[in-house]
Amino acid sequence: MELLHPWRLDFSTQPELKPVPVVSLVLPCFNEQEVLPETTRRLVALLARLEAEGKAAPGSAIYYVDDGSSDGTWRLVSEYAAAFPTVCGIKLSRNRGHQNALLCGLLTAPGEVLVSLDADLQDDLEAIPRMLDAHRAGSEIVYAVRHCRNADSVFKRTSAEGYYRLLSFLGVQVLFNHADFRLMSRRAIESLRGYEETHLFLRGLIPQLGYRTSVVEFERAPRFAGESKYPLRKMLSLAWQGVTSSTAYPLRLITGAGALVSLGSLLLSAWALGIRMFTDQAVPGWASVVIPMYLLGGVQLLSLGIIGEYLAKVYESTKKRPRFHVEAVCGSKLGTGFCGKDQP
């Protein structure tokens, strides 16, 4: 199955440009105190340049979402919000995970265009002006896609690309080599607000919105400072979340596996019966009991595990618990009296 390839924008065919939008940059943060000073310096300069070039309207701002950090991240965000009118902060009451923190920022920040990116400066900031150009030319969603993965280790590159191909094979609409660096119009954001999934996988959810899309390629830089907040354990968890929250295909694979195992068991039974009836080499009970027992037992346990995972997601979804709670906000764009709405 081919990977999803969104419509690529041809600027020469666009008859009319949209007006200059108010831009909101949304950055989830978890223990990012080491990189925040440089990130803020670069983003404040970027917004000033975008306004000077007529690509972003006055009122554009940066929105940090503190996902329950245990270091000085929120202290720094509060200081920058007091020092720079273009910086705002949203503090979650506890760690809710990258996807929930990102969703909180997207649903809370104002603006006509929202650009989500990581706080570690690995996403190329120079891709943002090109994303804004694509939006003004007619795209409601603009995906920033890595041009290549030469900077990654062999394991990281092989596992990541294999995962994208697996998702595509399982029927999940996902853009190859795209993470969460993207632009979304206000129209797309309001459509996203209507999705109430408890277990979020935005890379697979946002393509479901439809609308006109385009792609901007970029080179991912090394992390500026600090350590990655996505070790192998979290990467595997996100991968499993992406599969089980986006497609029921594994359940269909169980049906296919059951049919194959049943066929194999019938063939094995026929073979054992033939050995017993036409030769004197049969070991009583071995072929007819031991092999089918282990084979069927393993398949049953695997099937129960997959079914249980989906059942657990149904159970958690029916409870309708909020996906996050906003504890505090700072920044003139949000206002001191702003109270973030908890999202179910």
Q: pLDDT grade, residue 333 (50/70/90)?
A: confident
Query: Which segment of 134-143, 179-188, 255-264 scores lowest on mean pLDDT?
Result: 255-264
C-alpha dist (Å) from residue 183 to 5, 117, 138, 149, 190: 16, 9, 12, 21, 14
In the predicted structure, residue 312 carries a pLDDT above the cut 90: no
Q: Residue 186: what pLDDT?
A: 93
- Mean model confidence pLDDT for the chain: 76
Q: pLDDT grade, residue 340 (50/70/90)?
A: very low
Q: pLDDT grade, residue 326 (50/70/90)?
A: confident
**Residue 180 CB contacts under 8 Å (≥ 6 apart), including other chains:** 98, 102, 116, 117, 118, 202, 203
Q: Residue 49: what pLDDT?
A: 93
Give the pair of three-digit tokens for residue 143: 């995906």
DSSP letter for 332, please. Answer: T
Mean pLDDT score, 148-167 = 64
* Domain chopping of the chain, boundaries: 11-247+321-330, 249-318
Between these two residues, 254 and 248, which has the higher pLDDT value? 254
Mean pLDDT score, 198-218 = 82
| CATH 3.30.450.40 corresponds to the domain 11-247+321-330 | no
Quick: pLDDT tens for 285-307. 665 566 666 666 666 766 776 77
Residue with tokens 């989830």: 28
Mean pLDDT score, 58-73 = 90
Query: Which segment of 65-79, 114-128, 160-174, 184-198 scores lowest on mean pLDDT?
Result: 160-174
Backbone φ and ψ for 254, nearest 5 degrees, come out as -60, -40
Q: Residue 15: what pLDDT?
A: 47
CA 237 – CA 301 distance, rounded (Å): 20
**Residue 326 CB contacts under 8 Å (≥ 6 apart), including other chains:** 90, 91, 92, 93, 104, 108, 339, 340, 341, 342
Please, what is the Cα angle at 322 between 88 and 328, to 5 degrees?
A: 25
Q: Residue 6: what pLDDT?
A: 44
Q: Of 180, 189, 164, 177, whose CA–CA distance to 243 is shortest?
A: 164
In the predicted structure, residue 9 carries a pLDDT above the cut 60: no
Between these two residues, 1 and 50, which has the higher pLDDT value? 50
Q: Residue 5: what pLDDT?
A: 44
Query: Which segment of 56-65, 92-101, 275-284 scores lowest on mean pLDDT?
Result: 275-284
Q: pLDDT grade, residue 8 (50/70/90)?
A: very low
Q: Residue 335: what pLDDT?
A: 57
Q: Residue 24: what pLDDT?
A: 93
Q: Residue 4: what pLDDT?
A: 46
